[in-house]
Structure 1
Amino acid sequence: MEIEVKHNEKEHRFECVKEGQLAYVEYKKIPDGMDFIATFVPEELRGKGVGSALAKAALRYAEGKRMKVVASCPFIRSYIEKHMKWSKV
């Protein structure tokens, strides 16, 4: 089952609702890019690919817009390290 992630520009986050619960990656705008500052996945959704789907969507967005990426969030930083494709973003 694919996890649908939406970009909520007003709240500065990428988010999804699964099993009635909200999960998100929060960012702040920086010159020429985005600083991913926090990832929140409810306990019940952990281990189901939600965090990875959020990270992938957020990084794809930044890549598509040719934006600089800063990963202040440890989860996003770890995702980038594990998926070397994103290390060039």
Structure 2
Amino acid sequence: MDFEIVDNPEQKRYEANVAGAVARIEYIKAQDKIYLTHTEVPKELEGKGVGSELVAKVLADVDAQGLTLVPLCPFVALYLKRHPEWKRLVMKGINIE
């Protein structure tokens, strides 16, 4: 599924409009860190890979900004477990097994 993400700093979340529904990842930014706190995919988009694609696009943006990632959201942590190439963004001391 192909879609664009938008950083909505006023709402403190990344958003993706997919087939008229909005999937999102909420965050808190502090200095050079970004805490990804919650991922939400509308029911009608579940099971279509939207959540995983959303996380991948957000991680690419985090990387491009040079931010350190603190994955508080269980879905993001699971994605990192399955895609260890992104673990390089995670703050030292946080163990994702």
How high is the TM-score relative to the length of structure 2?
0.84
- Residue in 2 aligned with 1:28? 28
In 2, Cα distance between the equivalents of 1:59 and 1:33? 13
Aligned length: 89
Contact 1:33 1:62 in 2 (8 A): no
Structure 1 vs Structure 2 CA RMSD: 1.2
Task: String of CA shifts for 1:59-88, please: whole Å, max 9, x gaps.
Answer: 111111111100000001111111111011
Identity of aligned residues (%): 35
Contact 1:14 1:57 in 2 (8 A): no
In 2, Cα distance between the equivalents of 1:76 and 1:61? 14
Structure 2 gap ranges (5+): 90-97
- Residue in 1 aligned with 2:83? 83
Q: Deviating runs (4+, > 6 A) in structure 1?
A: none
How high is the TM-score relative to the length of structure 1?
0.91
- Residue in 2 aligned with 1:8? 8
In 2, Cα distance between the equivalents of 1:55 and 1:13? 12
Q: Give the AA of the match of 2:54.
A: L
